[in-house]
């Protein structure tokens, strides 16, 4: 199935979790948050939240700014 | 003199909020932040990318500086609310510098979207510090919906044009029941001092320090300017006079 991860379409195995996507993009172990289809997925739910076909995942962290 | 800045019940010794944007690298940023004496500094939320633009959080943690996430880049209330919620999740803080800008050329706040986002975030339990226009009416409305401070611009972000409408800033500080933080447009130390003399409780700046020729020295200059301006405000300046008044006794 396909999902959009940080703006890029990716082929993911069925049943891929949010946690798997987070490690796929090489996110650091802390200071990271995830939105799936425009809603925050709390860290505690990353393992059990499955990315649906056509899902839009954003993995964000803090950078210099403001 | 004990004169802490208090926002939403939290005390800060420093009245300077130094943003992290614009620094050439983390080493320059570290020296500038330390010299500025800041205890609270802004960060932006962006996609994790292969370039690994991180390290700023570790730096702030090491320096013991609190993180204030912003919603820079957001154009609508909905975007800003989601970004704030992501920042809360990532950084474990319910504080947010709320920015909702209208266009790239001016980066001026969109007042309609800003007020809507502020109201939603307050309802969601956030401590909301909105970056706003130098508009006394909007500042009042932001306070009325529960913002913990109001942060009017001196001039557009990154311009270094200083405080273009000092009277508006004074109108805001005269009526505000929450701290007023002059945010954006500071170019040099005298601008920061003026903000404090106009009654602002603090100054937020980034570019003026991070893009100065010597960021560390400018950080120190801003620290002194904010302290000097605050002292002058508390001391009470003399009235302006048209004619001279001798300061030495007559002959």
pLDDT given at position B112? 97
- The ipTM value here is 0.91
Query: Of the ranges A23-32, B67-76, B240-249, which one carries the lowest mean pLDDT score?
Result: A23-32
Mean pLDDT of the B26-43 span = 95
For residue A49, what are the CA distances in angstroms to A15, A16, A21, A22, A35?
9, 8, 11, 12, 11
- CB-CB neighbors (< 8 A) of B59 in chain A: none
pLDDT given at position A65? 87
B43 closest CB neighbour out of A27, A42, A66: A66
Indicate the DSSP class of residue A45. Answer: G
Asked if A66 is an interface residue toward chain B (Cβ–Cβ < 8 A), one would say yes
pLDDT given at position B1? 64
Q: Please answer whether residues B173 and B200 qualify as being in contact, where contact means their C-beta atoms are separated by less than 8 angstroms.
A: yes
Are the beta carbons of A62 and B69 separated by less than 8 Å?
A: yes
User: Which CATH architecture best describes the domain A2-61?
Assistant: Roll (3.10)
Are the beta carbons of A66 and B52 separated by less than 8 Å?
A: no
pLDDT given at position B22? 87
Query: Of the ranges B44-53, B160-169, B171-180, B192-201, which one carries the lowest mean pLDDT score?
Result: B44-53
Give the gyration radius of chain B's Cα atoms. Answer: 18
Please state the domain extents for chain A.
2-61
Give φ, ψ of A24 to 5 degrees: -60, -40
Whether B193 has a pLDDT exceeding 90, the answer reads yes
Sign of CA dihedral B16, B19, B22, B26: positive
Give the integer Cα–Cα distance in Å for B87 and A61. Answer: 8
Report the alpha-carbon angle B178-B180-B182, nearest 5: 165
pLDDT given at position B50? 60
Which residue of A lies nearest to B79 if distances are taken between CA atoms? A38
pLDDT in tens, B66-94: 999 999 999 999 999 999 999 999 999 99
Give the integer Cα–Cα distance in Å for B127 and B121. Answer: 8
Q: Please answer whether residues B209 and B203 qualify as being in contact, where contact means their C-beta atoms are separated by less than 8 angstroms.
A: no
More confident residue, B244 or A26: B244
Percentages helix, strand, coil for chain B (3-state, rounded to 5) are: 40, 20, 40
Whether B224 has a pLDDT exceeding 90, the answer reads yes
- Sorting pLDDT into bands at 50, 70 and 90, what band is B52? low
Work out how many CB contacts closer than 8 A connect A with B: 103
Domains of chain B plus CATH, in order, are 5-235 (3.20.20.70)
């Amino acid at each position: 199935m396909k999902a959009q991860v940080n703006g890029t379409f990716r082929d993911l195995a069925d049943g891929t979790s949010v946690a798997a996507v987070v490690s796929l993009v090489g996110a650091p172990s802390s200071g990271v948050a995830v939105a799936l289809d425009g809603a925050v997925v709390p860290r505690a739910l990353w393992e059990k939240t499955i990315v649906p076909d056509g899902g839009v995942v954003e993995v964000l962290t803090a950078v210099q700014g403001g | 003199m004990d004169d802490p800045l208090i926002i939403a019940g939290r005390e800060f010794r420093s009245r300077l909020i130094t943003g992290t944007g614009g620094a050439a690298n983390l080493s320059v940023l570290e020296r500038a932040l330390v010299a500025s004496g800041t205890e609270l500094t802004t960060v932006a939320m962006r996609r994790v990318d292969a370039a690994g633009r991180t390290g700023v959080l570790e730096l702030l943690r090491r320096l013991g500086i609190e993180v204030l996430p912003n919603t820079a880049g957001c154009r609508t209330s909905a975007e800003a609310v989601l970004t704030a919620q992501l920042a809360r999740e990532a950084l474990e803080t319910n504080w947010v510098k709320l920015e909702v800008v209208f266009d790239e050329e001016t980066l001026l706040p969109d007042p309609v979207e800003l007020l809507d986002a502020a109201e939603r975030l307050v309802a969601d339990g956030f401590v909301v510090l909105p970056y706003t226009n130098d508009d006394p009416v909007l500042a009042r409305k932001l306070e009325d919906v529960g913002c913990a401070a109001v942060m009017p611009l001196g001039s557009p972000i990154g311009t270094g044009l200083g405080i273009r409408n000092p009277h508006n800033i004074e109108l805001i500080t005269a009526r505000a029941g929450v701290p007023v933080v002059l945010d954006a447009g500071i170019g040099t130390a005298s601008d920061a001092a003026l903000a404090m003399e106009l009654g602002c409780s603090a100054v937020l700046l980034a570019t003026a320090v991070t893009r100065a020729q010597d960021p560390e020295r400018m950080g120190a200059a801003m620290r002194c300017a904010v302290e000097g301006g605050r002292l002058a405000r508390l001391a009470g300046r003399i009235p302006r006079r048209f004619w001279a008044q001798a300061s030495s006794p007559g002959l």
